[in-house]
Structure 1
Amino acid sequence: MHVDWLRRYATGYHRWRQTRDENEVLFYRPLGIVESSFDADGVYHEGRADINMALEFEISTNMSTTSLRRHILLVWTALRLRHVLLCSAASSTMDFMDEKAAKDSARWFIVRKPTSSEDAIHAADNQIAFLHDHYPATSSGTYNLRFLFIMSHQISDGLTNSNWATSFMRLLNTKSHDLEDSIGTLVTTLPERLPPAQEDLYQPISGSLARQRWFWAITLVLRHVQKPMPPAFQNPL
Structure 2
Amino acid sequence: MTTLQDEARRRKRNSRLGLIAISPLCFFGLGAVLLRGTATSEILASDPQTSIIGPAAMGLLSWLFSLLTLLGVRPRSWKTLAAAFFLPIFTALLAMAATLLALDRFQERAEFSRGPLRQKQADLAIAEAVFLRGKSGRYEITLRDYSRNFTVDEADYASAFGEAEQVRPRGRCARVTLQKSAHALRIIDLERGALPRGTLVRCPPGIAAPRW
Q: Same fold (TM over 0.5)?
A: no
TM-score of the two chains, using structure 1 as the length reference? 0.20
TM-score of the two chains, using structure 2 as the length reference? 0.22
Which has the bigger relative contact order, CA under 8 A and spacing at least 6?
Answer: 1
